[in-house]
Structure 1
């Protein structure tokens, strides 16, 4: 399916949008160019769309004014007393009705209405004789440069002496390289050359214009003194004016001229898929995910040991500070889901690791952006990096720390107490039998220390209670190690997940916004240029 070509209003709207998107990113003079073209084009379209404005531009001594008068058919302007310069614009106007506002916009006060038609097909036409663009008078040059950006058709007038002047080509003609469709070139004073020289010089001027970027521009050799080439030039002007499209073609050329370099760089690719993963891994290291996981696992093992370990030794663990408390972490979340942390700020080395990760991530995201956009992305990354220590601390604080053993382990705690109670009963039995044997006689008779299978029951109680508690403590210790490893993995995974969420909100999103803004800018610039 063929894509519909963008209309001029759509292109102008896209140009204005591109300028807004590039605010604060492109250099000031480039933004000014985009906005100037958009404003100038909008203003031109609101004025007469029937008149074609043709401007005669030339260097001092090129005979531009004499040529202008020859094309008009009457001497409308007077040359200066000492040298042939034009100090202000002069307009020859065919069919002047409706041209006043357009001439006001152009800033042309000297207006000379002409009778009849310039040519049968030219329609309403305005020819402007403009100040010399290389005039020593700064004001004259400003006028010429301003109107070069406003007229619909540019007629570059040169002569055999200055046609190859580098200053003329570099400063005046080449900046309008994309305006070939609305450009005419004139080699005036051709009467000063031999016929064969006219051909050679005309060909050479055409080649120079081609080198300037003005491909396909025909060079008309003229002589205001002899009248040679005047009709050919009038015919060329009539042909451009007859299509009634010169104003639009000029606007389109202006848009292309200011947007072409914006599309020189290749289109950006999708953001590298592994860039965010590498960022999160580095930030998780800086956040101390491994250390938090180890401490949480240690806290779990310690608490399980205190709850299910051998009661004769598990009390020793109560004398040591809880690993989480030492780190300043709590596993109990508040009503917002935050597990408050009083741990010290991340170290300088960890901060350096985090900052480097953010910069590396920004470099990867900006690797395919134009320099101006890449600089903005880098500046955004530097601003983001300042907040990284806080977001890492927040990520750790939001992580659930599974350091508290399940309530199901309470069964083992009860068994441990029962085992200890059995051992204490056996010890008490022996003590009572030794010091108060009469207390047991009513219950046990003469055999106050009965046996079973050759073992005294009190001894079995003592040994059974101690061994059961010891073995149970060892078994739960093994389980504590295994479960602690799982707690470590879950904690590490939780910290990394929250680090990834925080980095997505506070690192990835603001940096990707720059890429997205550039993509929108490029799309708008492409549409303004005429591509879809």
Structure 2
């Protein structure tokens, strides 16, 4: 029987990742999709879920990607156990040669030893496993292929150091291999099969890996047949109590070779099925996916913020921005502006003669001041904005898992610092131009100046009648200015004209008052609509996006779990 060391050949692809040897996924077509969904979970959970679970998932994705790129024709089987369990002797018995050192002194195995049946594609795999080149052996000679154990073609059998070794490096080596092996074989002996270190550190944490775990009760040659059954029964009870469902137990003796053939048959079946690689990865995905499940709430997530809370938020932001006060100020400005057009010019002249600089300032600068109020760095007060944001997510986040409730609230406040300025811009853009004057104002203004003209002409006519009719300063050019008896009639005309102008101004003021109230309401509604756009962009949109992210997370959790 011949063995040979595996040559150090390790073709690698871009970035140092081994070149794929086989594209098959060991008959598990759903594995790739589940890994893709797990990758999506990591992406969706970043910044929202606890870092350790995301880190563990990322490590699994990296490990799975590398393992699937390597030989699918080989099955990596590790023999692990405690000091004196006889795993190295069992390793040698399967290999048929003394490849791993055995003896009374403990620990004997300080480095992982690997024996490979079939060299094609094994080199990159062993490089990834980081097995020292001095401890790689191959069963690949023509004589070996003629033997019955050629059915182990594709097996990579690894003998590990003791998991309970006093050497920390030995324990670290075991810890590394148990996370990457396709099939975990734990070799125990009748005296220490209940060893707390084994069960606490390996059996319990990997209880979900029952499908890729095999327990070998070695050294049964030291027991009576009845004692063997009792040990197996007790060991099975212990394993099931620790969560290892339907554990597979094989009894062997490396000394008498009792049960070694049965163990070899298990390895033959495992290698022939070529499912251990994908089953191991599926078990890893199952284990990680369970950790994501606690962050998937039972209740269906809301699609977004309900209409009542949307309305409440817009109203709160409207108040915070001072839109009602702005609308009231613009209503006053509307009335002041209208008085220049529909007011009685005679009254306006008297007012101007009294010189009211405040009114002039309000007429000419009110709108500029209002616009300038929203272009500075303050706008709406930050405290008022923060108060408006407090209640918008209360109902939405109430039934969400804690991390997602926090992320939804954070999304609502993600642009809180930008809200005051955005609200100020919205109000500024909503302010109308003072150059827009209703047509009827111009008609009234024309009518009023016509009445003023008639009044002036009437007064002039009376003056001419007094001059020519009463004082006879000269010959009257016409009878209309020489008849003093026309003075009362012309005076009545002037009084009626002035009265008509005053009545027109009074009626128009009532109309302006009604229109200014409507103008203020339209202004406030217009500002509310602009603020609603800001609320959607800065608050409601991010909240809806976060809820959509959570919905995707829930769907991907189900897909990763195989639901």
Please give the range of the TM-score, normalised by the shorter of the 2 chains.
0.7 to 0.9
- 2:138 alignment partner, one of 113, 133, 143: 113
| Residue of structure 2 equivalent to 1:385 | 416
Residues 371, 416 of structure 1: CA spacing in aligned structure 2 closer, same or farther, 3 A cutoff? same
| Residue of structure 2 equivalent to 1:412 | 444
| Residue of structure 2 equivalent to 1:443 | 479
Residues 476, 345 of structure 1: CA spacing in aligned structure 2 closer, same or farther, 3 A cutoff? farther
Q: SS of the residue aligned with 2:185?
A: strand
User: CA RMSD for the aligned pairs?
Assistant: 3.5
| Residue of structure 2 equivalent to 1:290 | 324
The offset of 1:25, in angstroms, is 4.4
The question of whether the paired residues in 2 share the 8 Å contact of 1:309 and 1:473 is answered with yes
The whole-number CA distance in structure 2 between the counterparts of 1:281 and 1:6 is 53
User: What do the CA deviations read for 1:483-520 (whole angstroms, capped 9, x no partner)?
Assistant: 11221121112111111222333334444444444545
The whole-number CA distance in structure 2 between the counterparts of 1:119 and 1:14 is 40
| Residue of structure 1 equivalent to 2:21 | none
- 1:241 alignment partner, one of 271, 275, 296: 271
| Residue of structure 2 equivalent to 1:333 | none
- 1:77 alignment partner, one of 93, 96, 100: 100
1:466 aligned onto 2:502: no
The question of whether the paired residues in 2 share the 8 Å contact of 1:299 and 1:324 is answered with no
Residues 121, 433 of structure 1: CA spacing in aligned structure 2 closer, same or farther, 3 A cutoff? same
| Residue of structure 1 equivalent to 2:12 | none
Give TM-score scaled by structure 1 length: 0.83
Residues 24, 405 of structure 1: CA spacing in aligned structure 2 closer, same or farther, 3 A cutoff? same
The offset of 1:253, in angstroms, is 1.9
The offset of 1:308, in angstroms, is 0.4
- 1:269 alignment partner, one of 302, 322, 334: 302
The whole-number CA distance in structure 1 between the counterparts of 2:304 and 2:33 is 29
Question: Residues 12-27 of structure 1: matches in 2 within 5 Å?
Answer: 12-27=35-50
| Residue of structure 2 equivalent to 1:258 | 288
User: What do the CA deviations read for 1:336-395 (whole angstroms, capped 9, x no partner)?
Assistant: xxx6656765578x3212123335445665556554455455455544111111111111
| Residue of structure 2 equivalent to 1:300 | 334
Residues 344, 90 of structure 1: CA spacing in aligned structure 2 closer, same or farther, 3 A cutoff? closer
Question: Residues 166-181 of structure 1: matches in 2 within 5 Å?
Answer: 166-181=196-211
> Mind listing any 5+ residue stretches in structure 2 that lack a counterpart?
1-27
Q: Which moved more, 1:295-304 or 1:506-515?
A: 506-515
Q: SS of the residue aligned with 1:178?
A: helix
The whole-number CA distance in structure 1 between the counterparts of 2:148 and 2:410 is 59
Residues 408, 85 of structure 1: CA spacing in aligned structure 2 closer, same or farther, 3 A cutoff? farther
The whole-number CA distance in structure 2 between the counterparts of 1:504 and 1:29 is 34
Q: Which moved more, 1:98-107 or 1:265-274?
A: 265-274
The question of whether the paired residues in 1 share the 8 Å contact of 2:412 and 2:540 is answered with no
| Residue of structure 2 equivalent to 1:336 | none
The whole-number CA distance in structure 2 between the counterparts of 1:328 and 1:118 is 98
Residues 464, 501 of structure 1: CA spacing in aligned structure 2 closer, same or farther, 3 A cutoff? same
The offset of 1:22, in angstroms, is 4.2
Give TM-score scaled by structure 2 length: 0.79
User: What do the CA deviations read for 1:185-238 (whole angstroms, capped 9, x no partner)?
Assistant: 234455666666654553454344345443222233444455554444333333
Q: SS of the residue aligned with 1:322?
A: helix
Q: Which moved more, 1:194-203 or 1:33-42?
A: 194-203
| Residue of structure 2 equivalent to 1:134 | 164
| Residue of structure 1 equivalent to 2:5 | none
The whole-number CA distance in structure 2 between the counterparts of 1:152 and 1:519 is 34
Q: SS of the residue aligned with 1:352?
A: helix
Residues 65, 342 of structure 1: CA spacing in aligned structure 2 closer, same or farther, 3 A cutoff? closer
| Residue of structure 1 equivalent to 2:64 | 41
Residues 21, 343 of structure 1: CA spacing in aligned structure 2 closer, same or farther, 3 A cutoff? closer
Residues 31, 446 of structure 1: CA spacing in aligned structure 2 closer, same or farther, 3 A cutoff? closer
User: What do the CA deviations read for 1:267-311 (whole angstroms, capped 9, x no partner)?
Assistant: 643123334433322212211121121111221122112310233
Residues 145, 302 of structure 1: CA spacing in aligned structure 2 closer, same or farther, 3 A cutoff? same
The question of whether the paired residues in 2 share the 8 Å contact of 1:94 and 1:125 is answered with yes
Question: Residues 188-203 of structure 1: matches in 2 within 5 Å?
Answer: 188-190=218-220, 198-199=228-229, 201-203=231-233
The question of whether the paired residues in 2 share the 8 Å contact of 1:152 and 1:250 is answered with yes
The question of whether the paired residues in 1 share the 8 Å contact of 2:323 and 2:527 is answered with yes
The whole-number CA distance in structure 2 between the counterparts of 1:270 and 1:191 is 66
The whole-number CA distance in structure 2 between the counterparts of 1:342 and 1:244 is 71
| Residue of structure 1 equivalent to 2:313 | 279
> Mind listing any 5+ residue stretches in structure 1 that lack a counterpart?
331-338
- 1:322 alignment partner, one of 354, 357, 362: 362
The question of whether the paired residues in 1 share the 8 Å contact of 2:80 and 2:161 is answered with yes
The whole-number CA distance in structure 2 between the counterparts of 1:208 and 1:322 is 90
The whole-number CA distance in structure 2 between the counterparts of 1:146 and 1:327 is 74
The question of whether the paired residues in 2 share the 8 Å contact of 1:362 and 1:378 is answered with yes
Q: SS of the residue aligned with 1:108?
A: coil
Residues 458, 528 of structure 1: CA spacing in aligned structure 2 closer, same or farther, 3 A cutoff? same
The whole-number CA distance in structure 1 between the counterparts of 2:418 and 2:255 is 76
Residues 435, 19 of structure 1: CA spacing in aligned structure 2 closer, same or farther, 3 A cutoff? same
| Residue of structure 2 equivalent to 1:507 | 539
Residues 497, 209 of structure 1: CA spacing in aligned structure 2 closer, same or farther, 3 A cutoff? farther
The whole-number CA distance in structure 1 between the counterparts of 2:288 and 2:65 is 15
Q: SS of the residue aligned with 2:73?
A: coil
The question of whether the paired residues in 2 share the 8 Å contact of 1:421 and 1:465 is answered with no
